[in-house]
Amino acid sequence: MNRLALALALFVLPVPAAAQYVQPVPWAAQQPSMRDYRETYPPGALAEGVEGRVELLCTITDEYKLDCAVRSETPAGYDFGAAALRLSQLYIASPEDPRISVGGRVIVPIRYEIHE
């Protein structure tokens, strides 16, 4: 009976929704979806209710994709930087944007938040 009660409690209790905030990047022709953001939230951070911020420094490739490195990550130790790097693979810069050029650099700020 205790197992059934525990299973029901786990099913009924609200679980915080992981949400990510990526500041809009007007130079992007394609950006990650909210589903992509939720799927990259570091599980350990989510389990502990930890939110994080990442800044990526990225170079525009010949295919207008991003080649990024973590510029800053807070707090350390929760893999927010690695998660943001996975997201960066989903961006495609717009070749029509005059601010964008192959070999140019952009900063992509990402904020991981938990919403009830």
Say how far apart CA 59 and CA 11 lie, in whole Å.
44
With contact defined as beta carbons under 8 Å apart, do 51 and 113 qualify? yes
In the structure, what pLDDT confidence band is assigned to residue 22 with cuts at 50, 70 and 90?
low
Q: Give the pLDDT of residue 3.
A: 41
Kindly tell me the sign of the dihedral angle through the C-alpha atoms of 92, 95, 98, 100. positive
Q: Give the pLDDT of residue 18.
A: 54
- Short-list 30, 23, 26, CA closest to 100: 26
Q: CATH number for 16-115: choose from 3.50.50.60, 3.30.2420.10, 1.20.810.10, 3.40.190.10.
A: 3.30.2420.10
Whether 16 has a pLDDT exceeding 60, the answer reads no
Higher-confidence position of 64 and 8: 64
Note if the pTM is more than 0.85. no
Q: Which residues, 6 or more positions from 29, have their beta carbon under 8 angstroms from its beta carbon? A: 64, 92, 93, 94, 95, 96
Q: Give the pLDDT of residue 88.
A: 95
Kindly tell me the sign of the dihedral angle through the C-alpha atoms of 46, 51, 54, 60. positive
Whether 111 has a pLDDT exceeding 80, the answer reads yes
Q: Give the pLDDT of residue 21.
A: 55
Q: How confident is the model over 24-73, as pLDDT tens digits?
A: 688 999 998 888 888 999 999 999 999 999 999 999 999 999 999 999 99
Q: Which residues, 6 or more positions from 33, have their beta carbon under 8 angstroms from its beta carbon? A: none
Q: Where along the chain do its domains lie?
A: 16-115
Structure token digits, residue 30: 């394609």
Q: Give the pLDDT of residue 12.
A: 36
